[in-house]
Structure 1
Amino acid sequence: MPKTDYLDDPSAPRPNSLVVGVTAFVQDDAGRVLLIERADNGQWALPGGGQEVGESTPAAAVRETLEETGIGIEITGLVGIYSYPGHVIAYDDGEVRQEFSICFRARQVGGSATTSDESTQVHWLEPAAIEGLAMHPRMRVRIEDGLRGDPQPYLG
C-alpha cells in the first residue's frame, strides 16, 4: 500500500489511526546490526512490521524478522517505545497513522540472511557503515538508541 511519511510537517494530514508497529534491533557477536533494504521505498531499516490480532507484541517482532530476513531471533530486552506525534504516515486508502512502534533488542537463534517480498537486501552491517545509508530519520533514532545500549529503554 503506497504511503507518504511526514515528519514535523505542519501540512501533514491529521492522524485517524494508531497501529502497533514493532522492530527488532539484532546484533551479532561482532556487533554488526541486522538491517534490510525495504522493497516499498528503497530505504534501510530494522526488520519489523505490524502486530496482528491474536499475537503478542514480542511474537510480532520475532515473526516479522523471520519473514523479512530469514533470521530467527529471541527477544532479550527493550530498546524503546517510539510514539512521536510529529511523525505521521498517510496511506492512499485514507488511513493516516501516528507513529507507534516498539523496538525490541534481540539475538539470532537460527536461520540465515534471505530476502523476501518486503526486503530487497538483508545484511549484517558494522555500525560505522550505517551512517551513510538512506534511512528515515525516526528509524535512525531507533538504531542509535540500540547501539547506545542504555539499560533504560527510550520512552517517547
Structure 2
Amino acid sequence: MSRRIDYFDDPAAPKANSLVPSVNVVVTNEAGDLLMIRRSDNGNWAVPGGAIDLGESIPAAAVRETVEETGIVCEITGLVGTYSDPRHVLLYTSNGEARQEFSLVLTARAVSGEPTPSSESREVRWVPRGQVTSLQMDRSMRMRIEHYLAGTGLPYIG
C-alpha cells in the first residue's frame, strides 16, 4: 500500500519535486460538529481534501473531494486560509513524488449524505468541536483546524 509521509522543517526530508494546488474542507453539520476522516495512507485524522484537477474550480474540487472521501455533499461557505510553507514536504511512497505544501482550506456546510469510508478514508465521522484536536493528526492539519476553531473571520495567509 502506498503511504504518505509528512515532513516539517526536517533535514532528512526529500527535496520537493512538485507543487500541486489542493483543497481541504472544514465541513460542519447543524450541531457544529466537524466532518473528519481517518486517512488510509497514514492513519492520521484530517478534514477531507485533495488535488484540484485541471479545468476545475477551487469550490468544485472541494465539493468533489468531500463527496469522494466521505459520502457527504457540502456547500462551500468561506475560507480558513492558504497554506504554502516550503518547509512542509509530503512524500508519496507509491511514486516518489515529494510535494511542497500548497493548500487552500475552505469552510462548508453539509447538505446531504451519510458518512461513508472510501479507499482514501478508513473511517469517516462527525466529531464534536471540543474533541477534534485530541485526535491523532499531522501538525499542519492540526494548525489548519485550530485556525478554523479560533474563528477570527480573517483568513490565514501562509
**Alignment-derived partner of residue 8 in structure 1:** 9
What secondary structure is seen at the aligned counterpart in 1 of 2:154? coil
Task: Answer yes or no: is 1:152 the counterpart of 2:154.
Answer: yes
**Alignment-derived partner of residue 99 in structure 2:** 97
Distance in 2, matches of 1:91 and 1:109, equals 32
Per-residue deviation, 1:83: 0.6
Unaligned ranges ≥5, structure 1: none
What secondary structure is seen at the aligned counterpart in 1 of 2:19? coil
| Alignment: residue pair count | 156
**Identical columns (%):** 54
Q: What per-residue deviation string (whole Å, max 9, x for no partner) do you get for residues 4-54 of structure 1?
A: 221110222221210011110011222211100111111100001111111
**Alignment-derived partner of residue 89 in structure 2:** 88
**Alignment-derived partner of residue 142 in structure 1:** 144
Distance in 2, matches of 1:41 and 1:4, equals 7
**Alignment-derived partner of residue 69 in structure 1:** 70
CA-based RMSD of the aligned residues comes to 1.2
Per-residue deviation, 1:3: 3.1
**Alignment-derived partner of residue 40 in structure 1:** 41
Distance in 2, matches of 1:96 and 1:27, equals 31
Per-residue deviation, 1:123: 0.8
Alignment check: 8 A CA contact 2:4 2:42 kept: no
Q: What per-residue deviation string (whole Å, max 9, x for no partner) do you get for residues 109-138 of structure 1?
A: 111111111111111111222222110010
What secondary structure is seen at the aligned counterpart in 2 of 1:52? coil
**Alignment-derived partner of residue 123 in structure 1:** 125
When normalised by structure 1's length, the TM-score is 0.94
Distance in 2, matches of 1:4 and 1:38, equals 12
Distance in 2, matches of 1:153 and 1:104, equals 10
Alignment check: 8 A CA contact 2:4 2:41 kept: no
What secondary structure is seen at the aligned counterpart in 2 of 1:143? helix
**Alignment-derived partner of residue 51 in structure 1:** 52
Q: What per-residue deviation string (whole Å, max 9, x for no partner) do you get for residues 74-116 of structure 1?
A: 1011011011111011233232211001100101111111111
When normalised by structure 2's length, the TM-score is 0.93
Alignment check: 8 A CA contact 2:23 2:103 kept: yes
**Alignment-derived partner of residue 30 in structure 1:** 31
